[in-house]
Structures are given as structure tokens and as C-alpha cells.
């Protein structure tokens, strides 16, 4: 009763300091004092989180059903779909642990932000198809009461892949697969028996290419595939903030900390053929608070690794990969950070507003940025010239020596350009086959992965989040079957490789 009275007192009538500042003079200090006293009383009464002995409000809760390590777009997507697919509201307690709340090194916000369906693996195509449908209807998926709608700034300008003679056959086969993908991708507002068209991609010969994009130099190009619909680029920061806002409104707890330890227990068991395996189960996650030695053991039932470029380190903490090499126990999670540079330049005579994201057969790519003749682009270095991923310093000579020649060759207007800005970001690079790792680990029974997408994680994040949530709640993939992306492929040696030109 007392508590209700106090809460009414702290309601719209007396907003404490906020309203107090609008009043004048002598009543100001008194109102502030009264509201502070009320706040103190309210926190002491049962139900308040204040404890006189030590204040633990900065620590995560002692127990959470699911702990998601990593608060980037993949982690938030998993949290969103978990909350969306749980059968009753508030059934599962989810905690997202993020080390850096400014996302200064996160791959999500440093990404170029492109989305395409032009992959060769059907699973990748389906993931991108659902993701673009999610992004188109983002204000229905991520609507929060009383908050403004999201403006993703989705530019549906498409992707243009150029192929030389050698790559032309691969490109044709890929386009066939892309066109075939369709069927029910579980989209919002569609009836279940409408068969969706697959990706809309058109193949162009060099003459058609020259006619459509006169600024391209078609030397060395045998075939081009141009995505007509559902491809382009968007603002990843907006997606991240939208997901964050929605996920917080659905009741997911955020924690600012770093995972330092997993406490687990092992079970020695035998398979049906008599082999001995050791299955492990994680009981607790130790989350260390920033800039302090304090940590909180969070008791959990499930752990999801969505830590992006640092997923390899987190997996090692959990003991994945500690064993004789060549066995399932010794199979590491092969995700490591790789630094990629993105350069922003200005070219007054450059391609116009219709320019898609052009991917050269050499590996260089660029896209239009904004309306002022600015362009973003980069180039994936070869294995030997991989930059050191220790920091995010930009190497400007890389642009001069490696990127510019290819750009200038492909688009003659780029011979005169001026680099305005540059930054570097990490790929969560899967050294095995450069595609994502999704799903449970065969030995650590309650650990799930949603990482390792090597540069196309952002565009597949909504669909991957849904897939992981389905495996956690139902036990299997229901809408998009991502079994080729399970962890066990690292041990079995089955590469899910993209036969793409880049």
C-alpha cells in the first residue's frame, strides 16, 4: 500500500528533478530533496533492487536461461527471434553480454552494409531472401510502442558481378540456382501456399553491359550478373539500434561486460558403436565487469556464441579445440578476425545514381555512397598480404597499390579520384570455408553458434537469428535448413564453399 502511494506520488504529478528545474527559486531544492527521499524509501521497501550491503545493479543477474555472448547484429537477432518464437510471453530469460557498448570495433557497424542474393549455396540465397523481406518490413517486425519508425535507408540498387572467361560458367550455374530458390520463406503477411519467386537476377553480355552502364570498361568481362530486386545496401547502425530497442522492449537484459570463463561439467559416454566421447555441459558463465576485477557468475542453461571476430577466443574458453588434433574434441572453431579496409572517395565524373555495387573479377568492389558522387570500396587481400588484425589502423598505401589500379581499369572515370576517408573493420573470417557456423556444437551440448560469416553476416543476420532460435526451441531447423553450416562439418571435412568469383 505504501509502495503504491509512493509510486503515485512519483507519477506524472511530481517528476522530481525533471519538473523541478522548471520551477523557480526556493521550491527547487525542496522538491528535489523530497523526490530523492521518496526514491530512497521506495528502493528500501520490498521489491526494490537496492541492498544496503553492496550495490549490484551494474552486474548481470545471477541466473539467466540463455546467455548470448556478443551484442552485435547476430546476437541481437538471436535474442529477438528467441523472444518472438517463445510460446508464451516472458517464458525465457535472455541475457546479452556485450563488451563494448559503443560498438567501436564491432563488424556490424563498420560494414559496408550490402545485401545480395547472388550466392552459390542455396542456403545462403534463402537466408538473404528472408533477410531482405525482414528489412523491407522492418517497421512491422521491430515496432516499439511510442518510438519512431526506423529508416534503414535501403538503396535497392542491386549488385553487379562481373566474370571473366574462366568464371563465366560458374556464374551461369550460380544464377540458375539463385533463380530456383523460392518457396515459403516464412515471410510476414504472406499466405503459406504462395510460392515465392527466387532471386531475380539477370545475366548480361558485355554489349548489354556497355549499353546499360556506359561508364564501365568491359575489357576482360565475359558475363555479368545483375541483381534486379532485393539487393542493395542499407544502414547497419540503424538495424542494430532498431534490434536493440525492440529486444529491450521484449524483456531481454543487456549486460556490459566480458565473458572470462565458462564453468562446465563433463560426462564420459559411449556411442552405440562403442567409441568413447566426452560430452560437456556449461553451467555458469563468468561475466567480468569493464575496468574492474569484479565478475558475476551467471548460471545458465544455454550459451550462444555470436561474438563475431572474437568467437574463436570465446570458443577456446569453453574448451572447444582442446584435444588431440584430428579428433572431434581437437577441432577448433576456425573463426578469426581478419582486417579489411574500406575507403571513401570522391569522384566528380563518376558513375551516376543507377550504379550498383560493382564487383570486379579481380576482387575489388565499390558502391555509390550518398548523392554527392562519393563512393565506397575495397579489395580483399590475398592470403599472403593479410594485414595484422591487432588494431584497426588503415593502410593508405594499400589503396594506392592494390585497389586503385583495378578500379581505374574497370571504371575509367576513377582515374581521377580523391580519397576522403577510410576505416578498417574485422571480418569474422571462417578459415575453413568462409561461410557461417550455425547451430549446436556436437560435444559441448548446450552451446550454439551464430558466427563466422566472413563478411556476409550482416545481410544474413535476421534469418540466421531465426534459424538458431528454432534449433534452441524446437530441436531442429524448421524454416531454412542450415545443416550444411553446422559445426560438425569442420571435423568431417565437408566444406560448404561458395563457388563465387570474389
Partner 1 sequence: MLKFIIPTIMLMPLTWLSKNNLIWINSTTHSLLISFTSLLLLTQSNDNNLNYSLTFFSDPLSTPLLILTMWLLPLMLMASQSHLLKEPLARKKLYITMLITLQVFLIMTFTATELILFYIMFEATLVPTLIIITRWGNQTERLNAGLYFLFYTLLGSLPLLVALTYLQNTTGTLNFLLMQYWTQPLSTSWSNTFMWLACMMAFMVKMPLYGLHLWLPKAHVEAPIAGSMVLAAVLLKLGGYGMLRITPMLNPLTEHMAYPFLMLSLWGMIMTSSICLRQTDLKSLIAYSSISHMALVITAILIQTPWSYMGATTLMIAHGLTSSMLFCLANSNYERIHSRTMILARGLQIFLPLMATWWLLASLTNLALPPTINLIGELFVMMSMFSWSNLTIILMGTNIVITTLYSLYMLITTQYGKHTYHVNNLTPSFTREHTLMALHIIPLLLLSLNPKIILGPLY
Can you give the binding site for partner 1, defined by CB under 8 A?
A: 46-47, 49, 51, 61-63, 65, 86-88, 90-93, 265, 267, 269, 279-281, 283, 299-302, 440, 445-446, 448, 471-476
- Least distance (Å) from partner 1 to the CB of residue 249? 19
List phi, psi (to 5°) of 397: -65, -30
Q: Which is nearer to partner 1, 116 or 280 (CB)?
A: 280
Q: What CA–CA distance (Å, rounded) separates 177 from 161?
A: 15
- Least distance (Å) from partner 1 to the CB of residue 66? 8
Q: Which is nearer to partner 1, 62 or 290 (CB)?
A: 62
CB within 8 A of 102, min separation 6: which ones?
none
Q: Which is nearer to partner 1, 16 or 297 (CB)?
A: 297
- Cell of residue 16, nine digits: 522530481
Helix/strand/coil (H/E/C) assignment for every residue in 119-162: CCCHHHHHHHHHHHHHHHCHHHHCCCCCCCCCCCCCECCCEEEE
The answer to whether 425 and 92 are in contact (CB under 8 A) is no
Q: What CA–CA distance (Å, rounded) separates 57 from 51?
A: 10
- Cell of residue 116, nine digits: 545480395
- Least distance (Å) from partner 1 to the CB of residue 82? 11
Q: Which is nearer to partner 1, 48 or 370 (CB)?
A: 48
Q: Which is nearer to partner 1, 357 or 471 (CB)?
A: 471
- Least distance (Å) from partner 1 to the CB of residue 299? 5
DSSP string, 231-267: -EE--HHHHHHHHHHHHHHTT-EEEEEEEEEEEEEEE
- Least distance (Å) from partner 1 to the CB of residue 44? 11
Q: Which is nearer to partner 1, 156 or 323 (CB)?
A: 323
- Least distance (Å) from partner 1 to the CB of residue 483? 12
- Cell of residue 500, nine digits: 563465387
Q: What CA–CA distance (Å, rounded) separates 336 from 316?
A: 12
- Cell of residue 157, nine digits: 540498387
List phi, psi (to 5°) of 349: -100, 20
- Least distance (Å) from partner 1 to the CB of residue 294? 16
Q: What CA–CA distance (Å, rounded) separates 302 from 448?
A: 8
DSSP string, 264-316: EEEEEEE-TTS-EEEEEEEEEEEEEETTSS-EEEEEEEEEEE--GGGHHHHHH
CB within 8 A of 323, min separation 6: which ones?
329, 330, 331
Q: Which is nearer to partner 1, 57 or 292 (CB)?
A: 57
- Least distance (Å) from partner 1 to the CB of residue 43? 13
- Cell of residue 140, nine digits: 512491422
Q: Which is nearer to partner 1, 158 or 440 (CB)?
A: 440
- Least distance (Å) from partner 1 to the CB of residue 88? 5
Q: What CA–CA distance (Å, rounded) separates 114 from 474?
A: 31
- Least distance (Å) from partner 1 to the CB of residue 270? 12
- Cell of residue 464, nine digits: 540466421
Q: Which is nearer to partner 1, 51 or 137 (CB)?
A: 51
Q: Which is nearer to partner 1, 277 or 502 (CB)?
A: 277
Amino acid at each position: 500500500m505504501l509502495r503504491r502511494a509512493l509510486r503515485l506520488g512519483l507519477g506524472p504529478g511530481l517528476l522530481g528533478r525533471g519538473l523541478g528545474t522548471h520551477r523557480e527559486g526556493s521550491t527547487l531544492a525542496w522538491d528535489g530533496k523530497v523526490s530523492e527521499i521518496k526514491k530512497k524509501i521506495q528502493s528500501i521497501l520490498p521489491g526494490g533492487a537496492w541492498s544496503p550491503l553492496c550495490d549490484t545493479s551494474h552486474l548481470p543477474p545471477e541466473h539467466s536461461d540463455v546467455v548470448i555472448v556478443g551484442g552485435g547484429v547476430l546476437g541481437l537477432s538471436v535474442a529477438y527471434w528467441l523472444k518472438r518464437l517463445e510460446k508464451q510471453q516472458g517464458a525465457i530469460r535472455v541475457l546479452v553480454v556485450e563488451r563494448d557498448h559503443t560498438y567501436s570495433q564491432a563488424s556490424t557497424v563498420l560494414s559496408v552494409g550490402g545485401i545480395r542474393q547472388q550466392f552459390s549455396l542455396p542456403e545462403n540465397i534463402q537466408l538473404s531472401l528472408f533477410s531482405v523481406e525482414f528489412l523491407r518490413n522492418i517497421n512491422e517486425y521491430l515496432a516499439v510502442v511510442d518510438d519512431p519508425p526506423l529508416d534503414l535507408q535501403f538503396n535497392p540498387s542491386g549488385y553487379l558481378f562481373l566474370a571473366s572467361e574462366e568464371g563465366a560458367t560458374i556464374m551461369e550455374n550460380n544464377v540458375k540456382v539463385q533463380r530456383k530458390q523460392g518457396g515459403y520463406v516464412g515471410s510476414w503477411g504472406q499466405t503459406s501456399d504462395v510460392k515465392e519467386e527466387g532471386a531475380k537476377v539477370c545475366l548480361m553480355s558485355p554489349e548489354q553491359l556497355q549499353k546499360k552502364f556506359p561508364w564501365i570498361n568491359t575489357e576482360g568481362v565475359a558475363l555479368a550478373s545483375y541483381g534486379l530486386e532485393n539487393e542493395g545496401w542499407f544502414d547497419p547502425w540503424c538495424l542494430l539500434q532498431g534490434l536493440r530497442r525492440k529486444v529491450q522492449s521484449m524483456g531481454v537484459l543487456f549486460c556490459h561486460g566480458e565473458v572470462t570463463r565458462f564453468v562446465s561439467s563433463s560426462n564420459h559416454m559411449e556411442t552405440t558403436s562403442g567409441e568413447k566421447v566426452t560430452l560437456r555441459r556449461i553451467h555458469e558463465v563468468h561475466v567480468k565487469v569493464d575496468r574492474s576485477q569484479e565478475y558475476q557468475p551467471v548460471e545458465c542453461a544455454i550459451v550462444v556464441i555470436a561474438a563475431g571476430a572474437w568467437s574463436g577466443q570465446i570458443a577456446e574458453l569453453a574448451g572447444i579445440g582442446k584435444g588431440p588434433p584430428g579428433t572431434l574434441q581437437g577441432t577448433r572453431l576456425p573463426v578469426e578476425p581478419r582486417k579489411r579496409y574500406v575507403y571513401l572517395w570522391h569522384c566528380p565524373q563518376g558513375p551516376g545514381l543507377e550504379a550498383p555495387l560493382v564487383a570486379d573479377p579481380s576482387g575489388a568492389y565499390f558502391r555509390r555512397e550518398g548523392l554527392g558522387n562519393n563512393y565506397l570500396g575495397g579489395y580483399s587481400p590475398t592470403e599472403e598480404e593479410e594485414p595484422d588484425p591487432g588494431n584497426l589502423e588503415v593502410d593508405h598505401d594499400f589503396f594506392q597499390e592494390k585497389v586503385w589500379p583495378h578500379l581505374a581499369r574497370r571504371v575509367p572515370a576513377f582515374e581521377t579520384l580523391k580519397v576522403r576517408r577510410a576505416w578498417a573493420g574485422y571480418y569474422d573470417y571462417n578459415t575453413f570455408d568462409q561461410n557461417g557456423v550455425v547451430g549446436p556444437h556436437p560435444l559441448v551440448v548446450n552451446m550454439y553458434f551464430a558466427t563466422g560469416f566472413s563478411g556476409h553476416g550482416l545481410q544474413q543476420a535476421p534469418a540466421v537469428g531465426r534459424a538458431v532460435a528454432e534449433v534452441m526451441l524446437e530441436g531442429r531447423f524448421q524454416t531454412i535448413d542450415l545443416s550444411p553450416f553446422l559445426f560438425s562439418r569442420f571435423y568431417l571435412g565437408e566444406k560448404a564453399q561458395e563457388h563465387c568469383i570474389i
